[in-house]
Amino acid sequence: MDEQLAVAQLEALVKVPGSLKVITNEVRPDLRKDPADPRSPIRDDVLEADPAALKKVGTFVLHDVVRLEGPTHRGTYVASTAEGDWCEGYPADLLKRLQEWAG
């Protein structure tokens, strides 16, 4: 994909709530050993039932992107969430990563 086109798509999609999401490293509360602790690992029974659970997007907490900054001196852009999570990359790669949650 052309980088300029990717920047245009990122800039347009960041204005549409829910269209771009950062996949965090935090396991969803309903799958954690301790639902109240965001750093708690995934429950053993979940992994026994699905050994590939840690490779699936649906296992993790997703946050909506609310801001796009860039380009940096290297030509990358940073997508940030209201919760303070962020993802950085070159436009086409960043767009792909931020839409990965949709499958």
pLDDT in tens, 27-52: 999 999 999 999 999 999 999 999 99
Domain ranges for the chain: 3-102
d(CA 96, CA 32): 28
Phi, psi of 102 (to 5 degrees): -80, -5
Q: Which two tokens stand for residue 20?
A: 């771009």
**What is the tens place of the pLDDT at every residue in 67-91?**
999 999 999 999 999 999 999 999 9
pTM of this structure: 0.88
Count of other CB atoms within 10 angstroms of residue 44: 9
